[in-house]
């Protein structure tokens, strides 16, 4: 079997904005580095379809099996999500050896271990309860206020016209309480101060790896893409693959930054299992 030069593969990956998802070079180079390779996934819109009710979102069929199989193939498999770890555990708990990083890395659970909280964030639990109460009282009823223990999400998917009002409210609230605001797709998150985000989480998780794949669909995933870019810039032998998972709400920003595009969350399990995705699903969406 002739193995490709990883450097050559990396060049090919980088040469095209969106190379063919079934590029054999990427898979061959990854297979060579499996013992020092990590796979990192966002959850909503990546392993699960986007849903109007955040509590009714579940992984796509085959996701648990594909992740379980992957944990046996590579060194590290992690979820990096805006969701609380408790939620991720409920949805993905059947996958052994999976590391869950919730609330953009403010909390985490490695395998069956305890849930850990980032030391800088733990003091903000009562603050977030106050923000939740105020948001529920002061914002229109169409805004779904989600208390996440260490952060608060203001979802306006049910009323996109409220975006400006929600962002203004969140900005003032964050300024008054010295918190941070992070905009996502149809959501504004109010978070503790500090620079914890998907980028800093991924930066830490890839420090001892030679290869990493990151799968995401949203603006916050760009920071994880950037973490791969930074590592690749500092270490030319590092193979980082940025995968955009497309869904009805994914935007242009991510596509132009990705090496590979998968056409829907439902295709991710096959992509992982077979090394190439099935043809794109019929576009009924
Ligand atoms: Mg997402």
pLDDT in tens, 124-142: 999 999 999 999 999 999 9
Ligand 1 mean position to 184 CA, how many Å? 9
Between residues 28 and 223, the one the model is more confident about: 223
Question: 132-165 as b/e, with b when 16 or more CB fall inside 10 Å?
Answer: bebbeeebeeebbbbbbbbbbbbbbbebeebbee
pLDDT at 83 over 60: yes
pTM of the entire predicted model: 0.82
Q: Which domains does the chain have, with CATH numbers?
A: 19-113+199-274 (3.40.50.1000), 122-191 (3.30.70.1020)
How close is the Cα of 79 to the center of ligand 1, in Å?
Answer: 11
Cβ contacts of 69 within 8 Å, gap of 6 or more: 272, 273
Would residue 42 show up in a list of annotated catalytic residues for this protein? yes
Q: Identify the pLDDT of residue 23.
A: 55
| Residues in contact with 63: Cβ distance below 8 Å, sequence separation at least 6, in sequence order | 47, 48, 92, 268, 269
Over residues 4-55, the pLDDT tens digits come to 333 433 333 333 332 333 455 788 888 888 999 999 999 999 999 988 788 8
For residue 8, report the distance from its CA to the centre of ligand 1, in Å: 31
Q: What is the mean pLDDT of the chain?
A: 86
pLDDT in tens, 229-279: 999 999 988 999 999 999 887 777 788 899 999 999 999 999 998 763 333
The burial class, CB within 10 Å (0-12 / 13-18 / 19+), for 115 is middle
Distance from the alpha carbon of residue 237 to the mean position of ligand 1, in angstroms:
29
Provide the pLDDT for residue 280.
34
Among the options 5, 22, 36, 42, which is catalytic? Answer: 42
């Amino acid at each position: 079997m002739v193995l490709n030069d990883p450097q050559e593969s990396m060049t090919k990956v980088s040469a095209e904005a969106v190379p063919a998802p079934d590029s054999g070079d990427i898979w061959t180079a990854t297979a060579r580095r499996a013992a020092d390779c990590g796979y990192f996934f966002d959850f909503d819109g990546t392993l699960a379809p986007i849903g109007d009710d955040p509590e009714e979102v579940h992984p796509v069929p085959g996701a648990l099996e594909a992740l379980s199989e992957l944990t046996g193939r590579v060194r590290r498999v992690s979820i990096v999500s805006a969701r609380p770890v408790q939620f991720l555990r409920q949805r993905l708990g059947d996958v052994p050896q999976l590391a869950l990083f919730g609330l953009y890395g403010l909390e985490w659970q490695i395998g069956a271990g305890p849930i850990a909280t980032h030391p800088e964030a733990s003091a903000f639990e009562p603050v977030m309860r106050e923000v939740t109460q105020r948001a529920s009282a002061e914002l229109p009823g169409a805004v779904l206020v989600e208390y996440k223990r260490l952060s608060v999400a203001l979802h306006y998917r049910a009323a996109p016209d409220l975006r400006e009002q929600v962002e203004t409210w969140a900005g003032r609230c964050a300024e008054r309480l010295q918190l941070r605001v992070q905009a996502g797709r149809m959501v504004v998150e109010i978070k503790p101060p500090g620079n914890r985000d998907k980028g800093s989480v991924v930066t830490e998780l890839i420090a001892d790896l030679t290869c990493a794949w990151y799968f995401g669909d949203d603006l916050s995933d760009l920071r994880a893409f950037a973490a791969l870019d930074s590592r690749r810039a500092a270490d030319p032998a590092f193979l980082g693959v940025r995968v955009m998972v497309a869904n009805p709400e994914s935007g242009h920003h991510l596509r132009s930054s990705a090496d590979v595009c998968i056409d829907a969350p439902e295709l991710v399990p096959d992509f992982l299992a077979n090394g190439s995705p099935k043809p794109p699903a019929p576009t009924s969406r």
